[in-house]
Amino acid sequence: MNPLDIYMRNSVQTASPLQQVILLYDRAILALKEAGSNIEQGAIRAKIANITKAQDIIRALDSALDFEQGGQIARDLHALYQFIDHSLLLVHARNDRELLEDLLFILETLKAGWEGIQAKV
C-alpha cells in the first residue's frame, strides 16, 4: 500500500462522520483525476485501478446512506451514486474523458455541499 493510501485510511478512521464523507469525496476525486491522466498516457492497469478505487468509494458512500433519517435526500443521493457507478463503467469501457469530467464536476459539487454543511456545524 502506498503512503498516500495509508495516510488517507488513517485520516478517515480518526475523522468525524462528516469529515469522513468529505475525505472520501477527496479520494474519489483524486482517483478520477489520476484515471484521466492514465487514459491520456495509455496506462490501462493504472486506469482500471483508479476507476475501481472511485467505484469502491462511491459504493461505500451509497451503502452508508440512512434512508429512514435521510428521507428524500438519501434517496436522491442513492440514485446519483448509482448513476456515477454505472457511468464509471462507461468511462472505463470507452475511455470517455468527457464523461469523466462530468463525473468529476458532480463529485466536486457534492463535496462542496458537504463542506458547506461542515462550516455550519
Q: How many domains does the chain have?
A: 1
pLDDT number for residue 12: 60
| Structural domain harbouring 94 | 3-120
CATH number at residue 24: 1.20.120.340
Is pLDDT at 5 greater than 90 in this prediction? no
The torsion angle over the Cα atoms of residues 94, 91, 93 and 79, rounded to 10 degrees, is -130
The SS3 assignment for 79 reads helix
- 26 has pLDDT over 70: yes
pLDDT tens digit sequence for 94-112: 999 999 999 999 999 999 9
- Cα dihedral 10→14→16→21 (10° resolution): 10
Q: Could you read off the pLDDT of 33-86 as tens digits, one per residue?
A: 999 999 999 999 999 999 999 999 999 999 999 999 999 999 999 999 999 999
